[in-house]
Structure 1
Amino acid sequence: MLGSDPQKQNQWFADNPGMSELGLRYYQEDAVRAVEKAIVNGQQEILLAMATGTGKTRTAIALMFRLIQSQRFKRVLFLVDRRSLGEQALGSFEDTRINGDTFNSIFDIKGLTDKFPEDSTKIHVATVQSLVKRTLQSDEPMPVGRYDCIVVDEAHRGYILDKEQTEGELQFRSQLDYVSAYRRILDHFDAVKIALTATPALHTVDIFGEPVYRYTYRTAVIDGYLIDQDPPIQIVTRNAQDGVYLSEGEQVERLNPQGELINDTLADDQDFEVADFNRGLVIPAFNRAVCGELTKYLDPTGQQKTLVFCVTNAHADMVVDELRNAFKKKYPQLEHDAIIKITGDADKDAKKVQSMIVRFNKERLPNIVVTVDLLTTGVDIPSICNIVFLRKVKSRILYEQMKGRATRLCPSVGKTSFKIFDCVDIYSSLESVDTMRPVVVRPQVELQTLVNEITDSETYKTIEADGRSFAEHSHEQLVAKLQRIIGLAIYNRDRSEAVDKQVRRLDELCLDAAGVNFGGLASRLREKGPHWSAEIFNKLPGFIARLERLKTDINALREAPIFLDIDDEVVSVKSLYGDYDTPQDFLEAFDELVQRSPNTQPALQAVINRPRDLTRKGLVELQEWFDRQHFEESSLRSAWKATRNQDIAARLIGHIRRAAVGDALKPFDERVDHALTRIKAENDWSDEQLSWLDRLAQALKEKVVLDDDVFKTGNFHRRGGKPMLQRTFDDNLDSVLDKFSDYIWDELA
C-alpha cells in the first residue's frame, strides 16, 4: 500500500516543515521530525521514547496527520493493548482540533467496534486481542497490506524476546508458545511500525531499535510540563519490620478464592517478608494499621486524588473496607463512593469499568481509588496527587509507570508535587535497578502439545543433538509433568473433596486403558516408552482436559494464602532521602557536593559565578547530574522544610547558590518579580514592551533560564520568535535578558 512515488512523498516532509497548525510543544515537533527523518531514511521499525504525561497521544495524532497528508501512507493502524486506551485515544481524536476541525472529522476513522476498515478508512483503532482473532485465529486472515503503517501505543507492554528453539521445536511446536501476540501482529503486516513508550526496556529496543528521539521525565520537569515527586514517605509496621515466621507442622488457616477459611498443616517452615504480605500471607491488622496511618495524610473530601495499588482483587476489597472504616472515624459524614475499587474484575462490563475511570477523572467522587494494575498505564487523571504502594512489584518499568499516574500538572487542585507512600519497601528495592532489563519468557509447554508430539509419526524421524528423537524428548517431559501432577493430587486428596473425586475417576480410566491406577500411570508410561504411551492417550480422548481440571483444583489449594489473625501496628513513618538518615544529613551532603564540584561541571560554575551564562542545555545537564547523585530539586525543598519549617520554592539553582556563595534561600518567583520591578523602573517602556517584560518574567518562572532555544517554541515562536522581540526592544533584548539574570541574584532580592 505504500505510495507509488516514495521519493516524491518523502520530499513532502522537507517542503512542509512547519507544524504551527498542530499546536505542538517544541519537543513534540522534534519527535515528529525525528520519526519523519527515520522514515525518509528507510527505517521500518521506529521507537519514540517520551515520558508519561508529555503528550504521546497528541504527538501520535500530529504524526498520523502528517503521514497521511504526505500520502506516504494510506492507512494507519493505531494499536493498543487495552480497550480503555483505545477509548481514550478515540476521545483525543474527537477533542483535538487542526485548523478548526476535529481530527476525527478530517479523516475517516474506525473505532474498536469496527472489525475491518473500509476503502476510505485512514485510521483504524484496534486492540491487540481483537487483531489476534481477526488475523491469526481466522480462517480468512487479513491481507498483509491492509495497513501500511502501524502506530503502537505503550509499546513496552506485551512484548517478549523469542526463545531459541531446537530443530524439533521449530518443526512441531506452535509459534504461539514462543512469540507474543503483539510481535506476531506486527510481523503479519507489511508496514512501517512506529512504537511509542515512556519506558523503553531492552526487549522493546530489541524489536524497534534504539529510540530515534527521547524526551525524559527530568527534562519535562525542568521545562515545567510535569511535576516532581516529594521524597517517598515510608510506612513500616511491626510485622513488616520483623517478618513473620511459621514452623513446620503448625496449624494454620488458608483463605480460599471463595473467601472461606480452610484448615491446613504446614509441610515446611515458612518465613514471610513484607513482599509476601497479601500474596502468601494475609494479615488483616497490617492493612488496618497502614490505612489508619494514611488518614493522617489524605483528605477524601478534597480535590487532590489518591491511587492505591494492591496485590489482588481480594486484597483491594479488604483495603477499600479498611480505608472506609478508618476515614469514617475522622469524617463521619463521608460518602460511600469517596473510596472505591476499580479493577478489570470490578465489573465484567468493560464499558462500565471505563465509565468508572471517567468518573474518577472528571467528578468529585471517587477521591480515593484502589486498584491492582488496571490504572498502571495510559490513563490520564491529572488530579492524582498521591500514590500508595501496598503491592511490591519487581519490575522497574511497572514501578515507573505506576508513579507516572501522578506526574501530570493540575494547578486547579493546588498540585505542586506528588507524594508516594511506600508501605512495602518498594523504594529501596527498585531505586538501583536498571530500567533496561531483558524480559525473556520461557514457554510452558502444554500437556496436550506433548501428547500431540508423541502421537505424530514425524517426530520420531527428527533426531536431536543428543541422538534421541524429538518424540523421546517430548515423552520425557510429558512423564515428568504427569509425575508432578500425580504427586500433588495424592497429597491433596485428603484436603479437598473436589480433588479426591477427580482422582477416583482418573483411577477408573487408567485401570481400563493402562492396567494401573492413576498413581502408577507415570511410572508405567516411562517404562513402556513413547509409542505405547501414544496408544494409551488415543484410548483416552478426554484425559488431558480432566487433568487440567485437576490442576485447577490443586492450584486453588496451593495458592490460597495463609490467613493470620495477629496484631500489627505502625512503628515508623519517615521521608526517604536515599543514603541519608535525616534531612539535615541530606542537605549537608548536597552542600559538600556543590562546594567541591565547580571545576568539574561548567554549568555549576556558571550558576555560582555568572548566572547570565547559564543555558537551558546546561541547566538540563546540571539537573540530570544532580539527579544521578540523588539530589532531586523536590527532595531539597522537602529537606529544607523538614529542617527549617520553611517551604521555599527556590529551585535547584537557588539551593546551589545558597550552598556555594551564601545567598539567602528565597522563592524563585519572588526573585523574578524583584528583577522585573527593577527593570521596569529603569526605563520609560512602551505598553507593548511592558507586556513583553511581563511575559518574559512569566517564562523565567516556568523555564528558569531563557536562551535562544526557548524563543523557538510556544507563544514566542508563534509571534515571531527572537527577531520579533529584538525589534520590540529596539535591538536590546540581550541586555534585558542579562539584567533579568543579574537582578534575580541581586543581594537585595
Structure 2
Amino acid sequence: MTPETKARQRIDDKLEQAGWVVQDMRQLNLAASQGVAVREHPTDTGPADYVLFVDRVACGVIEAKKDTAGANLTVAEAQTARYATAVLKWRKDTAPLPFLFEATGEIIRFTDGRDPAPRSREIFHFFKPDTLADWLAQPTTLRRRLAEHMPALLERNLRNCQVSAVTGLEKSLALNKPRALVHMATGAGKTFTAITAIYRLLKYGGAKRILFLVDTRNLGKQAHQEFMAYTPPDDGRTFTELYNVQRLSSPTIDQGAKVCISTIQRMYSILSGEPIDESAEDVSLAEVRQTAQQNKVVRYNPAVPVESFDFIVIDECHRSIYNTWKQVLDYFDASLIGLTATPDKRTFGFFNENIVAEYTYEQSVADGVNVGYDVYEIATEITQKGAELKAREWVDHRDRQTRKKRWSETEEDTAYTGRELDRSVVNVSQIRQVIQAMKTAVETQIFPTRQETPKTLIFAKTDSHADDIIQIVREVYGQGNAFCKKVTYRAEEDADSILSSFRNDYHPRIAVTVDMIATGTDVKPLEVLLFMRDVRSKGYYEQMKGRGVRSLDADSLKRVSNSADSAKTRFVLIDAVGVEKSLKTESRPLEKKPGVPLKDLLQGVAMGHRDDDTVLSLANRLVRLAKQLDDKAQTRIEKASGGVPVAELGKALIVAIDPDAVVQTALATAKAQGITRSEDSLLPEELEAARAQRVATACAPFDQPALRDEIENARREREQIIDHINLDQITFSGFSEQAEAQAKSVIQTFADYLRQHKDEIAALGFFYQQPYQRRALNFDMIEDLHERLARPPLMLTTERLWSAYARVQAHQVKGADRKRQLTDLVSLVRFTLGLDGAGAELRPFADEVDKRFQAWIFRHNAQAPTAFTPEQMDWLRLMKDHIASSCSISREDFDYAELANKGGLQRVWQVFSNELDGLMDEMNRELVA
C-alpha cells in the first residue's frame, strides 16, 4: 500500500471507532447511521477526501494526507477550507461546512469555522457524530460564548486576588488560548477561585462537562467538599444543588454530571486499560514514591470520547502532569487550567507561559490572607557529625518493616553519618534531644504564654521513623496516646478521622507524617512545623511549608488552642536537619516503574526487556542503592560484576540510552561501514541498532545470576541498628540568621511607621510632644494605635513586636515569657523612640508602672506630713493595677469589677474625700509618663 492508502485506512478505522459509518460515494446510504463519512464526495472544485453527514445533513470535511506529511498538516488548511466552501453535488444548502479536519494516520487537526477567528488545533481522535449534532443544534459555539457572552463577575465574597484570577482566566479563554496557569499562594483560595470560574463556565459559557483533576484521593475528597459548600453570589442554592458533581470511583462517567472529580491515576487507568491499584490514588505522583506505575499508552475509549470535557482544571499542576501522565491531558479536546502555589520552570513551559493570575506568598502575607514565618534551628552533634559503634557492642537490631527486634553484638566497628540516621541506624538519643529542644524552645521562646502545646506537625523520613518519633514525643511531653498521632497512609487508625481531629479538636496536639499532609491539605491551626527530614525538591519544600501559612481568626484558633489570645499571626519552622540550607532542585526525577520490584527489573533485563522505562528504572534503583550500601555490600557486588561498582552499573544504563550518544554511535557505525551520514540523514533502523548495541553492552553484566543475587541480597539487608550507646547533645538551638533578619525588619518597620504617622495618630502625639502631656494618653488611643499596626500589611501585633526585640536585643528585653497586654504597646513605643535614654530596658508596661508606683509612694511618704493608711494603700494598689491595664484612671473606672467589688466610687471617696481627683491626676502623670 502507498503511504496515502495506509493513512486512509487508519483514518477509516478511527472514524469507525468514533461511531461513523464510512462509505464510498457509489455506496451512499445516509440512513445507515446518524453519522456517515462519504469518501471522494464530488464538489465543484474536485472530490473531497471525506464529507461528514450528521442526520443526513452535510456538516464537515476531512482532508487526508499521507503520514509523512503529518508535521506540515497546517499547509492543508487552505485546501480543507476550499472544499468546505465548495458546492457539493446534490446539496441544496450553500452555506460553508462548519467542521474542518486535516488528518493523517497519526495526526488530526480540527477547526470549527463558526468560532470567532477560527483556529485549528490538534485533537487525539475524531469526534462522535452525536457531538457534532449537539454543536450544530447550539446557536453559538463555546468559544464564541466565552468571547462575547460572559457577564461581568460579581465580586461579592471574593478576595481581590480571586477576582483577578477569574477575570484573567476568562480573558485568556476569550482569546482561545488552550492553556492557562493560575499561580496563587497556598491559603489564598485556589479551589474556591476555580469553582467560581467553573460555575460561570457552566452557567454562562454553556460548557458541557468539566474535569477537576487531582493526583491524590485525599485532594479529591477535599475538592468535593468545597463544591458542596460553595454557594454562588447570584443563587441561594449550593453548587451541588445546581449541578451534578461526580467524584469518580469507577470507569464510568455519569452522563448527567457537569463536573467530574478524578485522580489522574484513575483517568489514566480508564484510558489505557491498565487496572488501577486503589492505593495508587493515595500517593502523589511526583513528590513521593509511587506505589504503581502503568506502562501502557492511552488508547481511544468510545465510552469516554475525547470531547467528554470542555475544560480540565488541574489542581497542584506543578507535579502530576508530566511524562507518562501527560497522556491524559493530550487525550481530551479541552482547555487546560492549571492551579498551583509553587510553579517551576517546567510548569511555566507546559502552560505556554500564559500566567493569567499571579499572587505570591509575600503578597498574601501583606494582605493578611496568610501569615509569615520564623525559622528556628536545632542542631545536634550526631545530626551533624554522625557517630561510631565499636565492635562487640550489644545493641538492638530491628527489621525496618516488621519492627521485630533481636539483641546481639555488632560484628565490626560501625561508623554512620547524619544522613544514615533513621535509615540504617536509629539513634534514640538524637531524636530525644531534638524533641526536648523543640519543647523547651516552644515553651520558653517561641510561644511562651501558651498553656498548651501549639498544634505541631512533624515531618518524618519514613513510616518507621514516624513511629519512633511518636513514642519519644509522648515520653518527653509526659502525655498519653491522644496527644501525638501518626497521620500517614499506613496509620493504624483511619487517617481521615485523625486528620479531622488534628484540624478541629483539642487532641492530638502533635501529628507526625511522612507524606500524607505534606501538600494540599488544609490544617489552619498549625503553628509549628518540625522538619526531621531533608527535602531536595524546591517545589515540594514550599508545599510542605505551606501547611503552616494559613491564617486563622482568634475565635477559631482559641477553639483548638485555648490559651491563644489573638488571631494566628505567624508560624515557626523548626529546622532540625538543615533543610533550610540544603541544596534544592527545581523538580524531582520521576521513577519510571516504582511499583516493579528490583529483582523483577533485574530479571526482566536479563530476559531481554530493554525499553527505556525498564532501563531507566533499573538505573535509578542502582544509583540510589549505591548511596545506601555499606562498603562490605559494595565490595560483594563489585566482585560479582567483575570490578564495576554498583553506581557505575546504573550510570552505564543511563548513558546507554542517551539520545546524543546513540546518534554518535550510529554515525561511527555508518562510517566504519564506509557510509557517509549526517545526523539528519540517519535512518530510524540505524538509530535503533545503535541504541540496541549500547544497551546490550550496558546490560551484559546482569546476565550473571551471581550479580543479580548479590544486588537483591544487598537490597534486602534492611535491618536497622538501634544505637543506645552514643548519647547525643544539642550544639545549637535558636532562631536562624534569617529569623533575626526578619525580626530586625519588623523593628525597622515599626520605627518607620511611628515616625511617618506621628502627626495623625493621637497616641503618637502624646509621645512626640514635649513636654509630655501625660493626662492625654488613654486606653482608646492605645487601642486605636494597635488596630492600625495589627492590620495588613503591617501585621505588627504587640506579641510580634516584643518577640522581634527579644530576638535582636535579648539582653535589654525583660518579660519575654509573659503574656502580652495591650498596654505593653506603650513600652514598645517608648523603647523604640528612645524616650528613656540609651541603655534603657524594654519592660512590660505593668512592671514599669509597678516601679514608678513604688518610687511615687516613697516620695509621697517622705514629703507628706502623714503616710497613706493601710486601706488607702489597698485602694492605691488597685488603682495602680487598673492604670497598668488601661493607661489611666478616672471616676468612671470605679464601675469596673475589681474596683466596684471594693465599694466603687462611693467607698473610695470616703477613703480619700476631696483628695481623690488630685491623686488620680498625679498617678496618671507619674505612672504612665
Query: Shorter-chain TM-score: what band?
Result: 0.5 to 0.7
Task: Report the counterpart of residue 783 of structure 2 in structure 1.
Answer: none
Q: Does 1:284 align with 2:428?
A: yes
**1:343–1:67 Cα change, 3 Å:** same
Cα 1:313–1:593 change in 2 (3 A) is same
Contact 1:108 1:122 (C-alpha < 8 Å) held by counterparts? yes
Matched, 1:89 2:233: no
Report deviation, 1:232: 1.9
Q: Which amino acid aligns with 2:375?
A: P
SS at 1:232 equivalent: strand
2:261 is paired with a residue whose SS is strand
Among all aligned residue pairs of Structure 1 and Structure 2, give the percentage whose two residues are the same amino acid: 25
Go from structure 1 to structure 2 and tell me whether the alpha carbon gap of 1:561 and 1:27 turns closer, same or farther (over 3 Å shift).
same
* 2:346 partner SS: helix
**Residue 737 (structure 2) aligns with:** 578
Structure 1 residues 128 and 326, CA, compared in 2 at 3 Å: closer, same or farther?
Answer: same
Q: Which has the higher contact order (CA 8 A, sep 6+)?
A: 1
Listed one character per residue, the Cα deviations across residues 538-558 of structure 1 (whole Å, up to 9, x for unaligned) are xxxxxxxxx6x985553121x
Show CA shifts across 1:108-133 (max 9, x none): 11113253323322100001111111
Alpha-carbon separation, structure 1, partners of 2:473 and 2:421: 17
Could you say if the C-alpha distance between residues 150 and 606 of structure 1 is closer, same or farther in structure 2, counting changes exceeding 3 Å? farther
Q: Which residue of 1 aligns with 2:185?
A: 51
- The superposition leaves residues 177-211 of structure 1 with CA deviations (integer Å, 9 ceiling, x where unpaired) of xx232x12111111111111111112211211252
Instruction: Say whether 1:126 aligns with 2:262.
Output: yes
Change (3 A) 1:280 1:158: farther
Instruction: Flag structure 2 segments of 5+ consecutive residues without an equivalent.
Output: 1-130, 275-298, 444-449, 559-563, 595-600, 612-656, 671-685, 762-789, 837-841, 845-927
Following the alignment from structure 1 to structure 2, what is the Cα–Cα distance between the partners of residues 310 and 640?
31
* Contact 1:303/1:383, CA 8 A, preserved across alignment: no
Matched to 2:241, the amino acid is S
Aligned residue identity for 1:394: R
CA distance in 1: counterparts of 2:335 and 2:821, whole angstroms: 46
Q: Is the 8 A contact 1:254 1:264 kept in 2?
A: no
Q: CA deviation at 1:366?
A: 1.8
Q: Please, which of 304, 311, 334 is the counterpart of residue 454 of structure 2? A: 304
1:191 to 313, 329, 334: 334
Matches within 5 A, 1:255-274: 255-257=398-400, 258-259=402-403, 260=405, 272-273=417-418
The answer to whether structure 1 residue 341 and structure 2 residue 486 are counterparts is yes
Within 5 Å, give how 1:13-162 maps onto structure 2: 15-20=151-156, 23-98=157-232, 99-137=235-273, 141=301, 142-160=304-322
What SS does structure 1 have at the residue aligned with 2:580?
helix
Residue among 337, 356, 369 paired with 1:225: 369
**Separation in 1, partners of 2:168, 2:533:** 38
Candidates 417, 423, 431, aligned match of 2:576: 423
Q: Deviations over 1:356-413 (max 9, x none)?
A: 2222222222221111111011111111111111111122222221121111123233
> 2: CA distance between counterparts of 1:649 and 1:143?
64
Q: Is the contact between residue 220 and residue 262 of structure 2 (CA under 8 Å) also seen in structure 1?
A: yes
Is the 8 Å Cα contact of residues 391 and 410 (structure 2) preserved in structure 1? no
- Separation in 2, partners of 1:264, 1:210: 59
2:813 to 641, 644, 663: 644
CA distance in 1, matches of 2:702, 2:724: 33
Name stretches of at least 5 consecutive residues in structure 1 with no aligned partner: 161-178, 329-333, 487-505, 507-517, 520-546, 612-618, 625-631, 668-747
On the 8 A contact 2:537/2:588 being kept in 1, the answer is no
Give the Å deviation of 1:46.
Answer: 1.0
Question: How far is the alpha carbon of 1:239 from its aligned partner?
Answer: 1.5
1:336-362 deviation per Cα after TM superposition (whole angstroms, max 9, x unaligned): 222111111225x9xx32232222222
Question: Contact 2:744–2:804 at 8 Å: present in 1 too?
Answer: no
CA distance in 2 between counterparts of 1:655 and 1:32 reads 46
Which residue is equivalent to 1:496? none
C-alpha contact 2:348 2:354 (8 A) present in aligned 1: yes
What corresponds to 1:674 in structure 2? none
1:428 match: secondary structure: coil
Q: Distance in 2 between matches of 1:327 and 1:605?
A: 45
Secondary structure of the residue that 1:101 maps to in structure 2? coil
Which amino acid letter does the alignment assign opposite residue 136 of structure 1? Answer: S
Relative to 1, partners in 2 of residues 1:663 and 1:621: Cα closer, same or farther, differing over 3 Å? farther
CA contact (8 A) 1:272 1:281 kept: no
After superposition, the C-alpha distances for 1:190-249 in whole angstroms (9 at most, x for unaligned) are 1111111111112211211252211112211111121221x3222222212433357999
Query: Does residue 359 of structure 1 match 2:519?
Result: no
Whole-Å Cα distance in 2 between the matches of residues 256 and 50 of structure 1?
43
Alignment check: 8 A CA contact 1:654 1:666 kept: no
- 1:234–1:576 Cα contact (<8 Å) kept: yes
Task: Measure the CA separation in 2 of the matches of 1:607 and 1:156.
Answer: 43
Distance 1:114 1:476, change over 3 A: closer
- In structure 2, the residue matched to 1:554 is 714
Higher helix share: 1
For 2:821 and 2:691, the matched residues in 1 are separated by 66
**Equivalent AA in structure 1 for residue 219 of structure 2:** L
Q: TM-score, normalising length from structure 1?
A: 0.63
Q: Is 1:464–2:626 an aligned residue pair? A: no
Question: Aligned match of 1:395 in 537, 553, 562?
Answer: 537
Q: How much does 1:606 deviate?
A: 6.8
Partner of 1:194, secondary structure, is strand
1:503 equivalent in structure 2: none
User: Are 2:695 and 1:477 equivalent residues in the alignment?
Assistant: yes
Contact map agreement 2:376 2:733 (CA 8 A) in 1 = yes
1:49 touches 1:196 (CA, 8 Å); kept in 2? yes
Change (3 A) 1:556 1:159: farther
Deviation, 1:76, is 0.7
Equivalenced residue count is: 546
CA contact (8 A) 1:222 1:620 kept: no
Residues in 2 aligned to 1:193 and 1:90: alpha-carbon distance in whole angstroms: 20
Contact kept? 2:538, 2:587, Cα under 8 Å: no
State the 1:277 CA deviation.
2.1
Question: What is the TM-score of this pair, normalised by structure 2?
Answer: 0.51
Aligned partner letter, 1:644: V
**Who wins on radius of gyration, i.e. which is larger?**
2
Q: CA deviation at 1:465?
A: 3.8
Contact 1:586 / 1:639 at 8 angstroms: preserved in 2? no
Relative to structure 1, the CA distance from residue 287 to residue 193 in structure 2 (aligned partners, 3 Å threshold; closer, same or farther) is same
Deviation at 1:264, TM superposition (A): 7.4
SS in 2 for 1:212: strand
C-alpha spacing 1:46/1:379, structure 2 compared with 1 (3 Å): same
Q: Are residue 323 (structure 1) and residue 473 (structure 2) matched?
A: yes
Rate the CA distance shift 1:242–1:555 in 2: closer, same or farther, 3 A. closer
Change (3 A) 1:409 1:266: same
Q: Distance in 1 between matches of 2:195 and 2:573?
A: 32
Write the deviation string for residues 521-572 of structure 1: whole angstroms up to 9, x where unpaired: xxxxxxxxxxxxxxxxxxxxxxxxxx6x985553121x55554333334424
In the aligned structure 2, how far is the partner of 1:426 from the partner of 1:82? 25
Counterparts of 2:155 and 2:807 in 1: how far apart (Å)?
43
Distance in 2 between residues matched to 1:154 and 1:205, nearest whole Å: 13
